[in-house]
Structure 1
C-alpha cells in the first residue's frame, strides 16, 4: 500500500499509472479517507489498495456500490473501470482500484445513526445473491474457529518459560476472555433458536468494522472495500465497541443517542438486539490485540502492549457497559426484554 510518507515520492508514478489505465490526467494528489486522492469540480477519486480481494469479491462489491448509487445515495463511491474494462490496475507490483464519488457538501445536516439506518434500508433491497462477501449467519463458525486457534496458541505459551511481559499478561488473561467468548457463542445460539427473524433482520450492506469516525460531517464518502453483507446489528455493535475502546467518555451519551437515532428510522427487533448483545459479548477487541501483536513487526509491539494494558484495566468497565446496554435495551422497548447473562448480573449485585 502507498503510505502517507511515500505520497510525495510516489506521486508522479501514480499519476502516470492513472493516465495509462484510465486516460485521466491528474494534476495534484492529496490524501482523503487516508487514501491517495484527487478531485475534479464534481467528483472525488480515491486510489484504494485491493490486492487482498479476489476478482469475485471485487465484482460483488462493485455490484453493491452500483446498486446503492442507483438508490440515490450520493456519497457511495463506485469502481471506475480501466480502459481494459478491469476493476483493478497494477502499480509497482500491487493492485489498486480507482473509486469515484460525488464531491461532499460538508454543510449537509448529518446524524450518524439516522444515516446508517437509511443506508441499511437501501442495502436490504440489494437484489443479487452475494456468495463471497457475505458474513450472514456465519458468526458462530467464525468465532469458534478464532477461539480454537487462540486457545491452541495459549496452551503453547502457557508451558513456555520465561515469558515476555506481553505474553505473561496474555497467558494470565486468556481464561477470562475464553469464558466471555463461550458466553457470546451460547447467547448467539440461543438467539437463533428462540427468535424468529423479521423483515428488518434481512441481510444488508455492512462494514467490516463500523467505527465512530467511519463517516463524519466532513467525510461521508462511503467506500465499498469497507463492506460485507451481514445483519445490520454488526455495524451497531462494532460502533458501540469502537466508541468504548477509543471514546469511552462519549459512550453513554453519544453511543445510546446513536442507537436512538437509528431506531427512529428502523426500530430494532428482539432478534436484532440479541445479536448486538452477543456480538458485544464476544471480545473481538481482545482477539485483535493479541493477534495484532504476534503478526506485527517488532516496531509496533509497544502499541499492542499499551492497548492490552488499557483493555485489561478496563475489563470491569466493559462489564458495566454490557450491563448498561442490557438495561437500556429493555427501557427502550417494554414489549420484550433480552435475556441476561447471570454472572454479569450477580457480579453487580455482589
Structure 2
C-alpha cells in the first residue's frame, strides 16, 4: 500500500496507523485516510465527492478532500479492491460547541446542497426499505422455523421475531400516519446525514467527518440514531433531552420531524442488524452477535419504557404545540 500510494499520488509514507476502521498516515500538514470503496458504484462515489466539495466550500473544517491520482482517477486498486484517498487537516483541538448544536449546524449547511442526489438519497424511502427488510427476515424466519436442528442463537431468533415484527409494523404505520396527517416544513428538506450516527461518531480526535459514511436524508435519521445509541449505552432519556435541546437552540424541529424521529425509533434497527450480522459473519465472529442478541432481548422492556418516555418528553418539550400520537400499548409497560 505504501509503494502504491507513492506511485499513484507521489506521497512518501513512513508508517500506517489506524483511525476508526481505516488505515491512515500523516505528513507535517495533513492526515490521510485510505478508504475501501469496492461496495460503492462510480456514481455513488461521485455524489459523495461533490457533497464533500460543497461542505468544504461551506467552511466545515472537519470535512476531508478526495485526492485524485496522478492519472486523474478518483479511485485506485490494490489486489482487486478499490480505494480512495482522503486528505484532512490534523486538528487536535477540543471542540467547544455542544454536540447537538454542532449537528444542527452541519444539517443546516447540508440543506443548502444544490445538486440532485439519486444514488445516495434515502429521502421518503424508509417505509419501502423497512418493509423490504421485514419481508426478507420474515421469509428467513419461516424457513428457520421449519428446520429440525437449530443453534441457540437461532432458537432465540425464532422466539423473538414475532415481537419485533409487530414493532416494525407499528413503526411503518406511525410513519404512514405522519406523512398523511402532518405537513413537512422547510426544515424537513433533505440534508447530509450519517449512514449511522452514534454517541461516539464525532467524539474521535482529530474529528474527521468521513464522506463515505454519508447519505442524503431527513435530519430525523441522525437524531433518532443518536437517541437509539444513547439508550443502548446508558438508557438515559435525560441525555437525549439535553441533546435535542442543544440541537433546537440552533435549528428548531417541526412536528413532522419529531414524529419521523419517533417512527424511526420504533423501527428495531438494532435487532435487524444483529440477526443479519450473525448470518453474514464468519463463524469465528458469530459469538459477538449472540451476545448482542442476548443483550437486546434482555433490554426489550427497558426499550419500551424508553420509547414511552421519549414520546412524553418530545410532546412536553414542544409545549403542547406538537401532536405526538402515543403508541398505546407502550403505556402498559411497568
TM-score by length of 2: 0.97
How many angstroms apart in 2 are the aligned matches of 1:291 and 1:217? 27
Whether contact under 8 Å (1:37, 1:46) holds in the other structure is yes
Q: Which residue of 2 aligns with 1:314?
A: 299
Determine if contact 1:113/1:258 at 8 Å carries over to the other structure.
yes
Shift of 1:303: 0.8
Distance 2:27 2:153 in 1: 48
From 309, 318, 330, the counterpart of 1:344: 330
Residue 211 in 1 paired to residue 205 in 2? no
Residues 191-250 of structure 1 show CA distances to partners (whole Å, capped at 9, x for unaligned) of: 0111110110000000110011110162321000000000000001111112222x125x
Contact 1:78 1:224 (8 Å CA) reproduced: no
User: What displacement does 1:109 show?
Assistant: 1.2
Unaligned runs of 5+ in 1: 1-13
Partner SS, residue 322 of structure 1: helix
Which consecutive residues of structure 2, in runs of 5 or more, have no partner in the other structure?
none
Worse-superposed segment, 229-238 or 210-219: 210-219
- Quote how far apart the aligned CAs of 1:55 are: 0.6
Partners of 2:123 and 2:190 within 8 A in 1? yes
Pick the aligned partner of 2:215 from 228, 244, 254: 228
Residue of structure 1 aligned with 2:245, choices 249, 257, 260: 260
RMSD (Å), alpha carbons? 1.2
Given the alignment of the two structures, is residue 181 of structure 1 paired with residue 168 of structure 2, yes or no? yes
Match of 2:89 in 1: 102
Partner of 1:283: 268
CA separation in 2, counterparts of 1:87 and 1:320?
A: 47
Alignment partners' CA distance in 1, 2:172 and 2:245: 27
For 2:156 and 2:186, locate their aligned partners in 1 and report how far apart those are by CA, in whole Å: 44
What is the CA-CA distance between 1:88 and the residue it aligns to?
0.7
Name the CA shift for 1:108/1:170 in 2 (closer, same or farther; >3 Å).
Answer: closer
Partner of 1:38: 25
SS at match of 1:42: coil
Aligned to 2:40: 53
Mapped contact 2:237–2:310 kept (Cα < 8 A): no
In the alignment, the residues of structure 2 paired with residue 85 and residue 297 of structure 1 have an alpha-carbon distance, to the nearest angstrom, of 37
C-alpha separation between the residues in 1 aligned to 2:16 and 2:162?
49
Q: Which moved more, 1:328-337 or 1:31-40?
A: 31-40
TM-score calculated relative to the size of structure 1: 0.93
1:248 aligns with 2:229: no
Match runs of 1:8-27 below 5 Å:
14-27=1-14
Instruction: Output one character per residue of 1:84-131: Cα deviation in whole Å (capped at 9) or x when no partner.
Output: 111111112211100011111323313211111100000000000000
* Farther off after superposition, 54-63 or 102-111: 102-111
Asked whether the equivalents of residues 329 and 337 of structure 1 are also in contact (C-alpha less than 8 Å), the reply is no
